[in-house]
Amino acid sequence: MNLNPIENLALALLGGAVLLGLYRLLRGPSAVDRLVAADTLSVVITGAIVVVAWLFASALYLDVALVYGVLAFVGTVAMARALEGGRS
Amino acid sequence: METEKAEGLGRYLVVFTGALLFWLLLTGSLDSQELLAGLLASAVVAVMAAPRMGILSGIRWSPVLPLQVARYLGVFFLALLRSNFDMARRVLSPALPIRPALVEVKTSLQSDLGRLLLANSITLTPGTLTVDVEGERLLVHWIDASPGTDLESATRAIVSQFETHLREFLE
Amino acid sequence: MRLVGDLFLLLGSAFLFLGALGLVRMPDVFNRIQAGAKAATLGVLGVLVGIAFLQPGWWPKLLAIGLFILFTNPVGSSTLARAIRIAGVRPWQKPAEESRALEEKS
Amino acid sequence: MTEWLALILVVMMLAAALAVVLVPNLVGAIAASSAVSLVVAVIFVVLRAPDVAMTEAAVGAGLSAAVLGLGVRRLGLWKLNEGKKDDA
């Protein structure tokens, strides 16, 4: 598929967003920073999977994005619950 | 007793309709077999989930409900767009102009659903983040609490902006 | 059609990038959540609208994904912020000069 | 193009996996492990295996974070060292 410059720029920005999120996840000074980075990264990746589905022109991949969005939320809430109960 | 029963029946209907709409969005086809499966699945979901959906009881049903929801969504999206440009300005300016503070506000919305939507709206408006909801008090993290501004009234302005729209269709 | 979709796609990815940049640049956890939650929500919505213009047949599923993100992302961020506050982390309220020095050091 | 994308993604996955091993804090390690499964899901999408990607997204993003978080909390290993830096 031929991409025009606007789409190339958009894809580059999306990749940059993933890299910056990963930087905060690897570098994050404290554990909660990593949690926040993982949460934001999951949303960014949901968008990225939708874009990849468009690149491949196949609607099958949208299901992956949907399942991913739903279960990343479940994981975030579970970690938050554990964090709340973790205080002594 | 009679009215309570009617309301319970209405709740089953609401959950059933919502589940069916979601099914239609997911499958994206009006094929008769898929529609039949969707009807069955929605009925099962309604029977299982409706007694626990007490959060829906805050909605005030009326014929103009979709109009009010649409107006609220319009205000909400405008605020979301404004907050993103605000955040982009803050992130891109080299001096990083932020002065965070925690502020407490009161809301007059009684229902759980109303408080949930209000907290969501506050999270997505310029410079604020809902940290906690305890009864009718909301704990808000404010990103730009400059010393000059009156924090209480500024926060109340943000809250009332959404409250007036939410109160039209929620308890 | 394709140009409108491209513009929405570009806008959405630009906001996602700015949100991730805010995640890196902000000095403490609550500000990071704030930058992440807002920018990621609008960014993903922009990307979804752009794809809906580029592939018009996909709009029902894209709408489902968009609704889900719109409702769950702020809830997840707020829950995380609440848990972090309960776990004992407090936002700093120092003057800007000290905070900038602290940020450069880290 | 797909090969290069997959290669970049594999490097990212390895970085996150190294973070899982090297981060001393268990909460941060769980966040990093959820990031690993996140990138693995994208790799499966790029390699055109949507069903595997969906399973990976479901198990990796949601359930493993929830199970690991609750397990660590139940074991009493849940500590947040906010003050100190735990650089990987």
- % of chain B with per-residue pLDDT over 70: 88
Asked whether D16 and A26 are in contact (CB, 8 A), the reply is: yes
Chains in touch with A (3+ beta-carbon pairs under 8 Å) read C, D
pLDDT at C94: 52
Q: Does C96 touch chain B (CB under 8 A)?
A: yes
Residue D34: name the closest of D53, D51, D17, D47 by CA. Answer: D17
pLDDT at B129: 82
Q: Is the pLDDT of residue B145 over 70?
A: no
Q: Where residue B48 falls among pLDDT bands split at 50, 70, 90?
A: confident
Low-confidence ranges of chain D (pLDDT < 50): 82-88
Q: Residue C15 and residue B84: Cβ atoms within 8 Å?
A: yes
Number of domains in chain C: 1
- % of chain D with per-residue pLDDT over 70: 84
Nearest chain C residue to B102 by CA: give it.
C91
Burial of C22 from C-beta contacts in 10 A (0-12 / 13-18 / 19+)? buried
Helix (H, G, I), strand (E, B) or coil at B89: helix
Evaluate whether chains C and A are touching (3 or more beta carbon pairs less than 8 Å apart): yes
CA distance C14 to chain A (A): 6
Structure tokens at B92: 């891109």
Q: What would the pLDDT profile of B123-141 be if each residue is shown by its tens digit?
A: 887 777 888 887 777 788 8
b or e along A31-58 (b: 16 or more beta carbons within 10 Å of the residue's beta carbon)? bbbbbbbbbbbbbbbbbbbbbbbbbbee
In a mutagenesis test of the C interface, which of A4, A7, A40 is the best target, namely the one with the most C β-carbons within 10 Å?
Answer: A40
CA distance A17 to chain C (A): 4
Nearest chain C residue to D87 by CA: give it.
C106
Q: What would the pLDDT profile of B75-111 be if each residue is shown by its tens digit?
A: 888 888 888 888 888 888 877 777 777 777 777 777 7
pLDDT at D79: 65
Q: Which residues of D touch C (CB under 8 A)?
A: 80, 82, 85
Residue D88: name the closest of A26, A22, C23 by CA. Answer: A26
Residues of D in contact with C91 (CB under 8 A): none
Domain range for C52: 2-105
Q: Is the pLDDT of residue B55 over 80?
A: no
Helix (H, G, I), strand (E, B) or coil at A88: coil
* Residues whose CB is less than 8 angstroms from the CB of residue C2 and which lie 6 or more positions away in sequence, other chains included: C53, C54
Q: Is the pLDDT of residue B5 over 60?
A: no
Residues of A in contact with C68 (CB under 8 A): 66, 69-70, 73
pLDDT at B146: 64
**CA–CA separation, B102 and C34 (whole Å):** 13
pLDDT at C106: 45
pLDDT at C46: 92
- % of chain C with per-residue pLDDT over 90: 20
pLDDT at C44: 92
Q: Is the pLDDT of residue C87 over 50?
A: yes
Structure tokens at B104: 């407490």
The answer to whether residues B108 and B138 belong to one domain is: yes
Number of domains in chain B: 2
Task: Considering only the beta carbons, identify the residue of B87, B119, B141 that sits closest to C30.
Answer: B141
CA distance D21 to chain C (A): 22
In a domain, B75, yes or no: yes
Q: How many CB atoms lie within 10 A of CB D44?
A: 20
Asked whether B53 and B75 are in contact (CB, 8 A), the reply is: no
Q: What is the mean pLDDT of residues C71-100?
A: 73
Q: What is the rounded radius of gyration, in angstroms, for the C-alpha atoms of chain C?
A: 17
Domain range for B43: 2-52
The mean pLDDT of chain B is 79
pLDDT at D82: 44
Q: Is the pLDDT of residue C48 over 90?
A: yes
The mean pLDDT values, 10 residues at a time, for chain A of 88 residues are 80 89 84 86 90 87 87 86 66
pLDDT at D85: 42
Q: Where residue B1 falls among pLDDT bands split at 50, 70, 90?
A: very low
Characterize the bridge pairing of strands B137-142 and B128-134.
antiparallel
The answer to whether residues B45 and B75 belong to one domain is: no
Residues of C in contact with D80 (CB under 8 A): 87-89
Q: Does A59 touch chain D (CB under 8 A)?
A: no
